Chain A
Amino acid sequence: MIWKYAMGLFMAAVIIASFLLVPPTQGLGDMGRIIVYHVPTAWVAVLAYLMSMVHSVAFLRTGDMLRDRKAAIAAGLGTLFCVLATVTGAIWARGAWGMFWNWDPRQTSVFLLLMLYVAYFALRASVQDPDRRAKLAAVYAILAFLTVPFLVFVVPRVYPTLHPNLINVTERRYEMDSIIRLVFLSSVVAFTGLYLWMFDLRLRAENILDQLERERGN
């Protein structure tokens, strides 16, 4: 329990630091701070979708409905963080490139990611039978996630994009100053913690609802 309060304070500290500690970036000015929010939310979205795929694979192998529940919750949270990432990205784009949306390969990829998971929920909504729904959704979640590496890693490297690459993989170094780097990494930790907490809450809620329904049925 204590770690939830700690995380709350930690996130508050990150927020304050992102405004007061982090200096304005050159060329972007104060708008540059938004990477402290944009990249972690994007990272969490991909993490959530990965978890959704992992749970889907586990479901197909074991048939355990709890796995299906976890896959759906992960996908839902992933979509939430994906929306946050898209919005913060668009705000950044407005500051850096002059317009909110210009179909830059990276922006296009994140839009596709959103569409993939909207489709996941559309599929879930179309099937009444829980077992069939779980099976079909699991297959789709796995297929959907397989396109993610393409979208996130291949497309921006192959097609020219204006989106900055903060982590220079070829030279193995960060393109950020130490202060920004510290706040940025702390933000990643904070948002990941937030995701895990929200996942836990949703899972517990679904479990209780499921139990209540079963009791009502008996």
Chain B
Amino acid sequence: MQFCSLIKAAWTVFRKDLRCEFRTPLNFSILMIFAVTVLMVVSFAVGGIALDPTLLAALLWVMLFFTAMTGVARAYVQEEETGTALVLRLATDSAAIYIGKVLYSFVLLVGVAIVVVPLYLVLFSVAPAMPLALAATVVLGCLGIAVTGTTFSAIVAQVTAQGSLMTVLSFPVMLPLLWIAISTTSTAFAGSNLVALAPDLAFMFFYSGMTFVASLVLVEYL
């Protein structure tokens, strides 16, 4: 498929998913409710204690990862549920569908992060020393989770007993990303120089990129 028409088709898929989501915000609600619940539970339990930046970073990403696990699988799974999966595959290239859904997942995750991360900062009384670095880390982390999560969503959509399989599959592949994100976030909380963070952020970007490219090719076989 020509590059231009591929991008156009992907954009159409993205807009379709986004439009459906605006009509009945099921996925966004699932993600938000889970994230806020975890946040409230943790804040209630340990909010009063002054926590070490690394611990705070770890908690943040644990929350974001498991939030993603509740909802990102729905990117492809909901097509199976509504019976539109076959039609979608007939309508356009699987690569276009994949790109569109990655964009969709990414927007959802960033949307959740925009609400939840500031809430997190407020509840734990954290004033990040490097707010831009924090934002960059969160965005890159959401990108990585969106890319790998959408791929595994495509795999899991074809399996009947889906629930825990998404987490089992995603966990090892996302773990390097999470570890780097936690380390970078911890530095963003505590403060350091931006140069030190550059390789970490680059790693997150390239790891996401590599998975993205591989998935573009592989998703056709699913």
Contact = CB atoms under 8 A, between A and B. Distances in A.
Direct contact of A and B (CB under 8 A): yes
A12 interface: no
Contacts, number: 73
A119 B222 contact: no
Given A122-B165, A126-B165, A142-B214, A136 B173 contact: no
A208 B222 CA distance: 29
Contact of A136 (B155, B179, B199, B215): B155
Give chain B's interface secondary structure class: helix
Given A115-B175, A119-B169, A132 B158 contact: yes
Nearest to A138: B221
Nearest to B162: A126
Interface size, B (range): 20 to 34
Contacts of B158: 127, 132, 136
Interface in B199-222: 199, 203, 207, 210-211, 214-215, 218-219, 221-222
A115 B172 CA distance: 6
A139 B155 contact: yes
Interface size, A (range): 20 to 34
Interface of B: 151, 155, 158-161, 165, 168-169, 171-173, 175-176, 179, 199, 203, 207, 210-211, 214-215, 218-219, 221-222
21 contacts: A108-B179, A112-B175, A112-B176, A118-B168, A119-B172, A123-B155, A123-B165, A126-B159, A126-B161, A126-B165, A128-B160, A136-B155, A140-B155, A142-B218, A146-B214, A147-B172, A147-B173, A150-B176, A150-B210, A155-B176, A158-B199
